[in-house]
Every structure is written in structure tokens, then in C-alpha cells.
């Protein structure tokens, strides 16, 4: 059970977020004495074979803490804006909400709308900053706390922080770490806002780069890429859209992998066994690429649970030597 701080209530806030990694900022706000007047999140989505409505993680967490939750498909309707304004928030906190806030909402709180964005703005504005951090092979990842304006992540920045990108980091693990750091930064920013002691700095537009929405189709592996490039995709597309290929017409997800040098030419997509040197990677098999081979550690075949690559090939005797597409 969540234990609340004994400190006095501080700022009156509205929180907007949806995925699991947005729970950390909400929890920290509560633990540090801020009053959450309302939580806004996306509507429930159908999922699974039965297509049952599944609530976003923030909704589940907020309700467990007895916070009022609203799931408006759009914040542009005048009646929605009026209802939101009735809470009289001093600031609105945004953490992966999934909607662009219209000017009518941006103008409601006296301290503005603050957003946790997982990049070192103005680099990687837009929908997929962490995915692009991994795809680009960046040594560092970052998080910024900014004040929203009508543009796409163009508002002034209060604070930034960066961490090293580890070789085992996926988009999921890296995003979680960045939002945990962002939650602490947000507390620091909110502590300074009432006295006007912290002034956000405008972004340098000449350094701005943008990211876009990633589609499910982009998860399909192109074995004509290098092993290094495919390895980055395996990590960047975890947990979504996931890197996948096809074997005998079946959908095969590559969940964990490692790039390895090739000791000779290997056809792109060809599944091979290892030499003793390559076996030091802990992978059970490898797949040929344009440069090097991709050692595979964990997979999931269509209709089955995730499993180690070693367990998978024990049950698929005709897999080794086949060509993935």
C-alpha cells in the first residue's frame, strides 16, 4: 500500500499519463505532498483474443490510490476544457499522455503544463525518442522537464539529465529508468516554481531533430542489414512493436540477441550453428546478415510462450539450416 508523506499539501496538480512507466512520477508527486486533483489518461483499449477492454496502467494505479480518473478521447471539446478548469490546477503534469494539449488547456494552470520527455531536448522531439536513441547507437540517453507550448516538444526546458545506454538496455528498460529520473527532476522543478526561482531556457531550434510514430510493420527484420543494426532493432523494438521474422510461415519474435563476427560468408537469413568461439556469447544459434551474424538468445514462436533459443531448437529439429524471411 502506498504510504503518503506527512508533509503539508503543496501544489494542486492535474496529472496526465497512460503507460506503466508514468506511474513513478505520479507516485512521487503523492509521496512528496502534492495534491492530485484529477488524473487524465487514455480510454481503455481492447486487447487479447477476447478483445476485452484493458485499462491503461495509470488508471489502475490511480484508482488504487483513490484518485479521480477521467478518460477523455480528446481534450479539445469546450465542455471537457471547462470541466478540467474547474479543478483549478496550479500546474498540469504530463508524462506520456498520448495527446497534444490544446492552447485552451495549456492556459489553465498558473504555472503552466510541465512535461517529462525522455530525450535531451531539442534532440529527438516527437513520439519515439527512446527507440531512436537505441537505433542510432547513442552512448547516452537523456530526459528533460519542460514547459509545454502549442508546438511538438518545442517549449522551454527547466532541467535535463543523461545516463549511459547499456548494451542490455531495451526501449522498455531505458524508458523506465529515464522516467524515474524525470520524476525526481520534476519534484525539484515544482519546488522552485512558486518563488519564480527557476526560469526555463528556450530550446536551440538549430539543433532540433524529430522522431515519428513507429508502426508494427517496422518490427519485421531485414536480414540484409548488418548484425549490429538488427541487434539495435531487437532492443529498440522491445516491448513494442517487437522484432520479428518468419519461419515456415510462422511469426517468430527475436526477443534477445547479440551481434557476432562471422568466420566466413553466411547467407542473409540462414540459421547456423556455432563454432566454439561464438558459443561464448550464450546464444544457441545464429542468423546470417549482411555483415556478421546475429546470435539469438531468446525467441517466441507464434502461439507459444517466450523461451530460450536453446529450448526452442530442441523442439524444432528442422530449424537449423533453414532460411528466415
With contact defined as beta carbons under 8 Å apart, do 243 and 237 qualify?
yes
* pLDDT value, residue 152: 95
* pLDDT value, residue 50: 72
The rounded mean pLDDT for the chain is 93
CA 225 to chain centre: 24
20 has pLDDT over 50: yes
SS (H, E, C) the chain: CCCCCCCCCCCEEEEEECCHHHHHHHHHHHHCCCEEEEEECCCCEEECCCCEEECCHHHHHHHHCCCCEECCCCCCCHHHHHHHHCCCCCEEEEECCCCCCCHHHHCCCCCCEEEEECCCCCCCEECCHHHHHHHCCCCEEEEEEEECCCCCCCCCEEEEEEEECCCCCCHHHHHHHHHHHHHHHHHHHHHHCCCCCCCCECCCHHHCCEECCCCHHHHECCCCCCHHHHHHHHHHCCCCCCCEEEECCEEEEEEEEEEECCCCCCCCCEEECCCCCHHHHCCCEEEECCCCEEEEEEEEECCCCCEEHHHHHHCCCCCCCCECC
Quick one: average pLDDT of 210-219?
Answer: 96
* pLDDT value, residue 4: 41
pLDDT tens profile 59-116: 999 999 999 999 999 999 999 999 999 999 999 999 999 899 999 999 999 999 999 9
Residue 122 preceded by cis peptide, ω within 30: yes
Quick one: average pLDDT of 249-278?
Answer: 87
Quick one: average pLDDT of 151-174?
Answer: 97
pLDDT tens profile 51-61: 788 999 999 99
**CA gap 244, 301 in Å, rounded:** 9
Burial class (CB in 10 A: 0-12, 13-18, 19+), 118: buried
Quick one: average pLDDT of 198-210?
Answer: 97
* pLDDT value, residue 8: 36
Domains of the chain: 12-211 (3.40.50.170), 217-314 (3.10.25.10)
267 has pLDDT over 50: yes
- The percentage of the chain sitting over the pLDDT mark of 70, rounded to a whole number, equals 95
* pLDDT value, residue 2: 52
Phi, psi of 172 (to 5 degrees): -65, -50
Q: How confident is the model at residue 195 (pLDDT cuts 50, 70, 90)?
A: confident
Look at residues 87, 94, 120 and name the one whose alpha carbon lies nearest to residue 204.
120
Q: How confident is the model at residue 275 (pLDDT cuts 50, 70, 90)?
A: low
Task: Enter the C-alpha cell of residue 141.
Answer: 540517453
* pLDDT value, residue 291: 96
264 has pLDDT over 70: yes
Task: Enter the C-alpha cell of residue 38.
Answer: 484529477
**CA gap 283, 256 in Å, rounded:** 9
203 has pLDDT over 80: yes
Q: What residues have CB less than 8 Å from 250, skipping those under 6 apart? A: 301, 302, 303
Q: How confident is the model at residue 137 (pLDDT cuts 50, 70, 90)?
A: very high
Burial class (CB in 10 A: 0-12, 13-18, 19+), 51: exposed
Cβ of 319: how many Cβ atoms within 10 Å? Answer: 19
- The percentage of the chain sitting over the pLDDT mark of 90, rounded to a whole number, equals 86
Q: How confident is the model at residue 282 (pLDDT cuts 50, 70, 90)?
A: confident
Quick one: average pLDDT of 152-169?
Answer: 97
* pLDDT value, residue 277: 44
**CA gap 71, 41 in Å, rounded:** 5
CA dihedral 151, 154, 156, 158 (to 10 degrees): 110
Q: How confident is the model at residue 280 (pLDDT cuts 50, 70, 90)?
A: low
Task: Enter the C-alpha cell of residue 119.
Answer: 530525450
**CA gap 123, 137 in Å, rounded:** 14
Least confident range from 38-52, 92-106, 110-124, 167-181: namely 38-52
- Which residues, in sequence order, are bridge partners of residue 107? none
Amino acid at each position: 500500500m502506498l504510504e503518503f508523506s506527512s508533509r503539508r499539501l503543496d501544489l494542486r496538480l492535474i496529472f496526465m499519463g497512460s503507460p506503466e512507466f508514468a506511474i513513478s512520477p505520479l507516485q512521487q508527486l503523492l509521496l512528496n505532498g502534492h495534491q492530485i486533483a484529477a488524473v487524465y489518461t487514455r480510454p481503455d483499449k481492447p486487447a487479447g483474443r477476447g478483445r476485452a477492454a484493458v485499462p491503461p496502467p495509470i488508471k489502475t494505479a490511480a484508482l488504487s490510490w483513490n484518485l479521480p480518473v477521467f478518460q477523455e478521447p480528446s481534450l479539445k471539446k469546450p465542455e471537457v476544457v471547462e470541466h478540467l478548469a474547474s479543478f483549478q490546477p496550479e500546474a498540469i503534469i504530463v508524462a506520456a499522455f498520448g495527446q497534444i494539449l490544446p492552447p485552451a488547456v495549456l492556459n489553465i494552470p498558473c504555472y503552466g503544463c510541465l512535461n517529462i520527455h525522455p530525450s535531451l531536448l531539442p534532440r529527438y522531439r516527437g513520439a519515439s525518442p527512446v527507440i531512436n536513441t537505441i537505433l542510432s547507437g547513442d552512448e547516452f540517453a537523456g530526459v528533460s522537464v519542460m514547459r509545454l507550448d502549442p508546438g511538438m516538444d518545442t517549449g522551454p526546458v527547466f532541467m535535463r539529465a543523461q545516463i549511459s545506454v547499456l548494451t542490455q538496455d531495451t526501449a522498455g528498460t531505458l524508458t523506465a529508468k529515464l522516467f524515474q529520473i524525470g520524476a525526481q527532476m520534476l519534484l525539484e522543478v515544482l519546488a522552485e516554481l512558486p518563488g519564480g526561482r527557476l526560469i526555463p531556457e528556450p530550446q536551440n531550434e538549430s539543433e532540433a531533430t524529430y522522431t515519428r510514430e513507429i508502426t508494427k510493420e517496422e518490427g519485421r527484420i531485414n536480414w540484409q542489414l548488418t548484425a549490429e543494426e538488427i541487434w539495435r532493432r531487437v532492443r529498440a523494438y522491445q516491448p513494442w512493436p517487437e522484432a520479428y521474422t518468419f519461419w515456415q510461415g510462422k511469426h517468430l519474435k527475436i526477443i534477445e540477441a547479440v551481434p557476432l563476427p562471422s568466420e566466413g560468408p553466411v547467407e542473409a537469413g540462414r540459421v547456423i550453428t556455432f563454432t566454439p568461439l561464438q558459443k561464448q556469447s550464450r546464444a544457441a544459434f545464429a542468423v546470417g546478415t549482411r555483415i556478421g551474424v546475429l546470435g539469438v538468445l531468446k525467441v517466441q514462436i507464434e502461439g507459444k510462450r517466450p523461451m530460450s533459443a536453446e529450448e526452442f531448437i530442441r523442439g524444432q529439429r528442422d530449424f537449423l539450416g533453414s532460411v528466415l524471411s
